Amino acid sequence: MAWDSTTVARFKKQYGSGLRESSTYLGQNYMVVDSTIANEVLQILHDEEAFDYCVDLTAVHYPQREKQFDLLWILYSFERNERLRIKTMIADGESFPSSTSIWATTDWLEREVFDMFGIKFDGHPDLKRILLPEDWQGHPLRKDYGIIQQDEQWVKINLGIESGQ
């Protein structure tokens, strides 16, 4: 279902086709924007549209697509009591400008996305793995990473066992 509001109109005017889609699904609004302008959109949403709370940042992996990753920001505005999802698509190996300077909370969230999907964020102050050990191989939430797959070598060296399974 298409979604229209002053916010959407504003972006449409500013970026034209850069704003790919703006819809409502099950009562939740989201916008799909081009990866080139996504960071600017986020900045404007924070500075001018009062989306002062970044609830979550995450990614979804679609291995069949050319641009494999959906990057998603879930935003909330205390003032307007409104939620908004911003979605952008990036290809494997492509990096994305970090939004830590917009919402400090994305520091760890970006680290987690990097940890789980291997998406790099430019300008992140300290991009390293957060949940997995630092020298772990592979990014587990990618679809090509099997559920019982693990970094055999790491397990052998650090845990002294043949396999963690």
Query: Considering the complex, what minimum distance in angstroms separates the CB of residue 164 from another protein?
Result: 11
Which residues in 50-64 are b (16+ Cβ under 10 Å) and which e?
ebeebeebebebeee
* Residue numbers 69-98 binding another protein by CB under 8 A: 72, 74, 78, 81, 83, 85
Q: Quick one: which of 131, 91, 99, 100 has its CA closest to 114?
A: 131
* Residue numbers 47-66 binding another protein by CB under 8 A: 52-56, 58, 60-61
Q: Quick one: which of 33, 30, 35 has its CA closest to 1?
A: 30
Q: Among 7, 11, 30, 110, which residue interacts with another protein (rule: CB under 8 A)?
A: 30
Query: Considering the complex, what minimum distance in angstroms separates the CB of residue 60 from another protein?
Result: 5
**Looking at beta carbons only, is 16 or 64 nearer to another protein?**
64
Q: What is the DSSP letter of 2?
A: B
Chain length of the chain? 165
Q: Quick one: which of 22, 19, 17, 18 has its CA closest to 2?
A: 22
- Interface residues with another protein (CB under 8 A) are 25-26, 28, 30, 52-56, 58, 60-61, 72, 74, 78, 81, 83, 85, 100-105, 107-109, 116, 125-126, 129-133, 140-141, 143, 145, 147
